[in-house]
Amino acid sequence: MKFSTRTTYGLRAMIRLAGHKDKKPLPLPNIAKAENISLGYLESMFSDLKKGGLVKAGKGVKGGYQLGKPANKITVFDIVRVLEGKMSLFHCLAEDGRVYCNAGCRCGAALVLSKVQKSLKKTLKGIKLSDLI
Protein backbone atom coordinates (compact mmCIF):
# COMPACT_ATOMS: atom_id res chain seq x y z
CA MET A 1 0.00 0.00 0.00
CA LYS A 2 1.27 3.46 -0.88
CA PHE A 3 0.03 6.96 -0.36
CA SER A 4 0.72 9.27 -3.28
CA THR A 5 3.34 12.01 -3.36
CA ARG A 6 0.48 14.44 -2.63
CA THR A 7 0.40 13.06 0.90
CA THR A 8 4.16 13.08 1.41
CA TYR A 9 4.65 16.55 -0.04
CA GLY A 10 1.46 17.87 1.52
CA LEU A 11 2.54 16.74 4.98
CA ARG A 12 5.97 18.29 4.52
CA ALA A 13 4.44 21.57 3.37
CA MET A 14 1.93 21.63 6.23
CA ILE A 15 4.68 20.91 8.77
CA ARG A 16 6.72 23.77 7.28
CA LEU A 17 3.69 26.06 7.48
CA ALA A 18 2.91 25.02 11.06
CA GLY A 19 6.51 25.63 12.09
CA HIS A 20 6.51 29.15 10.61
CA LYS A 21 6.70 31.33 13.72
CA ASP A 22 6.18 34.65 11.96
CA LYS A 23 2.60 35.94 12.20
CA LYS A 24 2.69 36.90 8.50
CA PRO A 25 1.41 34.52 5.82
CA LEU A 26 4.10 32.31 4.29
CA PRO A 27 4.40 32.65 0.49
CA LEU A 28 4.03 29.38 -1.39
CA PRO A 29 7.28 29.91 -3.36
CA ASN A 30 9.13 29.94 -0.01
CA ILE A 31 7.62 26.59 0.94
CA ALA A 32 8.34 25.18 -2.53
CA LYS A 33 12.00 26.21 -2.32
CA ALA A 34 12.51 25.05 1.26
CA GLU A 35 10.90 21.66 0.61
CA ASN A 36 12.18 21.26 -2.97
CA ILE A 37 8.63 20.77 -4.31
CA SER A 38 7.35 22.09 -7.62
CA LEU A 39 5.43 25.34 -7.13
CA GLY A 40 2.71 24.19 -9.54
CA TYR A 41 2.25 20.96 -7.59
CA LEU A 42 2.05 22.88 -4.31
CA GLU A 43 -0.49 25.30 -5.77
CA SER A 44 -2.73 22.36 -6.65
CA MET A 45 -2.38 20.82 -3.18
CA PHE A 46 -2.92 24.12 -1.39
CA SER A 47 -6.05 24.76 -3.42
CA ASP A 48 -7.45 21.51 -2.01
CA LEU A 49 -6.14 22.23 1.49
CA LYS A 50 -7.85 25.64 1.35
CA LYS A 51 -11.15 24.09 0.21
CA GLY A 52 -10.81 21.64 3.11
CA GLY A 53 -10.39 24.52 5.59
CA LEU A 54 -6.89 23.47 6.63
CA VAL A 55 -5.19 26.60 5.27
CA LYS A 56 -6.23 30.13 4.46
CA ALA A 57 -4.71 32.43 1.89
CA GLY A 58 -3.68 36.04 2.17
CA LYS A 59 -3.77 38.08 -1.01
CA GLY A 60 -1.56 40.79 -2.41
CA VAL A 61 2.09 41.63 -2.01
CA LYS A 62 2.16 40.36 1.55
CA GLY A 63 0.11 37.31 0.63
CA GLY A 64 0.79 33.71 1.39
CA TYR A 65 -0.69 30.93 3.46
CA GLN A 66 -1.44 30.36 7.11
CA LEU A 67 -3.04 27.43 8.88
CA GLY A 68 -6.81 27.53 8.76
CA LYS A 69 -6.99 26.42 12.39
CA PRO A 70 -4.47 25.77 15.17
CA ALA A 71 -1.92 23.01 14.51
CA ASN A 72 -3.21 21.07 17.52
CA LYS A 73 -6.65 20.91 15.86
CA ILE A 74 -5.37 19.46 12.56
CA THR A 75 -4.65 15.73 12.40
CA VAL A 76 -2.60 13.85 9.85
CA PHE A 77 -5.86 12.13 8.92
CA ASP A 78 -7.39 15.53 8.06
CA ILE A 79 -4.50 16.30 5.72
CA VAL A 80 -4.45 12.87 4.07
CA ARG A 81 -8.22 12.89 3.62
CA VAL A 82 -8.16 16.28 1.88
CA LEU A 83 -5.26 15.32 -0.37
CA GLU A 84 -6.14 11.70 -1.14
CA GLY A 85 -9.92 11.69 -0.89
CA LYS A 86 -11.90 9.01 0.88
CA MET A 87 -9.90 6.64 3.03
CA SER A 88 -11.08 3.36 1.63
CA LEU A 89 -7.87 1.34 1.54
CA PHE A 90 -9.25 -1.83 -0.01
CA HIS A 91 -11.56 -2.22 -2.99
CA CYS A 92 -14.06 -4.29 -1.00
CA LEU A 93 -14.37 -1.87 1.94
CA ALA A 94 -16.24 1.40 2.16
CA GLU A 95 -14.68 4.27 4.08
CA ASP A 96 -16.94 3.52 7.04
CA GLY A 97 -15.76 -0.11 7.10
CA ARG A 98 -18.78 -1.73 5.43
CA VAL A 99 -17.78 -4.72 3.32
CA TYR A 100 -18.64 -4.95 -0.37
CA CYS A 101 -17.36 -8.33 -1.42
CA ASN A 102 -17.97 -10.63 -4.37
CA ALA A 103 -17.83 -13.54 -1.92
CA GLY A 104 -21.06 -12.31 -0.31
CA CYS A 105 -19.22 -10.93 2.73
CA ARG A 106 -18.28 -14.43 3.85
CA CYS A 107 -14.66 -13.78 2.97
CA GLY A 108 -12.29 -14.30 5.91
CA ALA A 109 -10.02 -11.57 4.54
CA ALA A 110 -12.67 -8.91 5.13
CA LEU A 111 -12.17 -9.09 8.91
CA VAL A 112 -8.41 -8.57 8.57
CA LEU A 113 -8.75 -5.79 5.99
CA SER A 114 -11.33 -4.01 8.11
CA LYS A 115 -9.04 -4.14 11.17
CA VAL A 116 -6.12 -2.76 9.14
CA GLN A 117 -8.24 0.10 7.80
CA LYS A 118 -9.60 0.98 11.25
CA SER A 119 -6.14 0.84 12.79
CA LEU A 120 -4.61 3.09 10.16
CA LYS A 121 -7.39 5.65 10.52
CA LYS A 122 -7.06 5.62 14.31
CA THR A 123 -3.31 6.14 14.06
CA LEU A 124 -3.60 9.01 11.57
CA LYS A 125 -6.31 10.67 13.67
CA GLY A 126 -4.09 10.36 16.76
CA ILE A 127 -1.22 12.40 15.28
CA LYS A 128 -1.71 16.15 15.36
CA LEU A 129 0.18 18.56 13.13
CA SER A 130 1.49 20.20 16.30
CA ASP A 131 3.18 16.88 17.21
CA LEU A 132 5.31 17.13 14.06
CA ILE A 133 6.87 20.56 14.53
Looking at residue 64, what DSSP letter applies? E
Going along the chain from its start, the domains and CATH numbers come out as 5-132 (1.10.10.10)
- In three-state secondary structure terms, 131 is helix
Are the C-beta atoms of residues 48 and 42 closer than 8 Å to each other?
A: no
Please state, in angstroms and rounded to a whole number, the distance separating the CA atoms of residues 70 and 18: 8
Residues 5-50 have pLDDT tens digits of 999 999 999 999 999 987 789 999 999 999 999 999 999 999 999 9
Report residue 102's pLDDT band, with 50, 70 and 90 as the boundaries: low
39-43, 60-64, 89-93 — which one is most confidently predicted on average?
39-43
pLDDT of 58 strictly over 90? no
- What is the pTM assigned to this prediction? 0.83
Residues 105-120 have pLDDT tens digits of 566 777 777 778 788 8
Concatenated DSSP letters of 55-79: EEEE-STT-EEEESS-GGG-BHHHH
**Predicted local confidence at residue 104, as pLDDT:** 58
Report which of residues 30 and 88 the model is more confident about: 30
